[in-house]
Amino acid sequence: MTIEIMMIKQSDGTFRPCTTFDIEKASRIKAHSSMKFVGTRQKARTLKKHQKYWSGLIDLTFDYWEPMDGLLNASEVVTIKKFETYINSKNEQDSWVTNECHEFLKKLRASRESKIEEPQKTKKMLHEWIKLEAGWYELHVTPKGIRKVPKSINFNAISEEEFTEFYKAAFSVCWKYILNHKFENQAEADNAINTMLVNL
């Protein structure tokens, strides 16, 4: 098993995970397991900025993120809803149409549920989604066309200035899609993030 964890050396010579995301990854290692660690010195970047992203923005957004039904595609639901609205407009809000549309989606979900396991939300996938929405990706050509591949934000992959720009874009994405439903303004959301970092 290969696992990458950002660690910081303490004054007593021990190491501890830098962020809550790193703590979660470390918790997957069973107690008394024998592990080999290879350290890589990171480029100079303010650790607090790294923690603010992983233990602040990611954690806060993850807490308020309520995933859509993973077994039903959003476009499928929208199409059925539009069809329902269209038919009802022709039949003066016929409840039969609404019931049948809801029943169709229910049966479609049940059919897929019997074949595949419903995907769960994870901070890793939230992170990957944020990068794509923030425009932090490269375009790759594949046999099926152009594919967006998220770029790394590893300490050694980008400069502190680039990370600052990424954080701004990432915050805008989280605010646009999730946090604006929970906070009055961006300053309030930023204060909540800073509060989460107090005990790190």
Q: How many domains does the chain have?
A: 2
**Are residues 129 and 93 located together in one domain of the fold?**
no
The whole-number pLDDT of residue 148 equals 94
Check whether residue 58 and residue 152 sit in a common domain.
yes
Pair 125, 107 in one domain: no
52 and 103 assigned to the same domain: no
* Average model confidence (pLDDT) across the chain: 84
What pTM was estimated for this model as a whole? 0.68
Residues 101 and 181 in one domain: no
Q: pLDDT for 79-95, tens place per residue? A: 888 888 888 777 766 67
Residue 168 covered by a domain: yes
Residue 23 lies in a domain: no
Is 13 among the domain residues?
no
Residue-number span of the structural domain to which 83 is assigned: 74-113
Using a pLDDT cut of 70, give the percent of the chain over it. Answer: 88
CA distance 176 to 80: 26
Dihedral sign from CA coordinates of 28, 31, 33, 38: positive
pLDDT of residue 61: 96
Question: Is 40 domain-assigned?
Answer: no
pLDDT greater than 80 at residue 55: yes
- What average pLDDT score do residues 112-141 get? 86
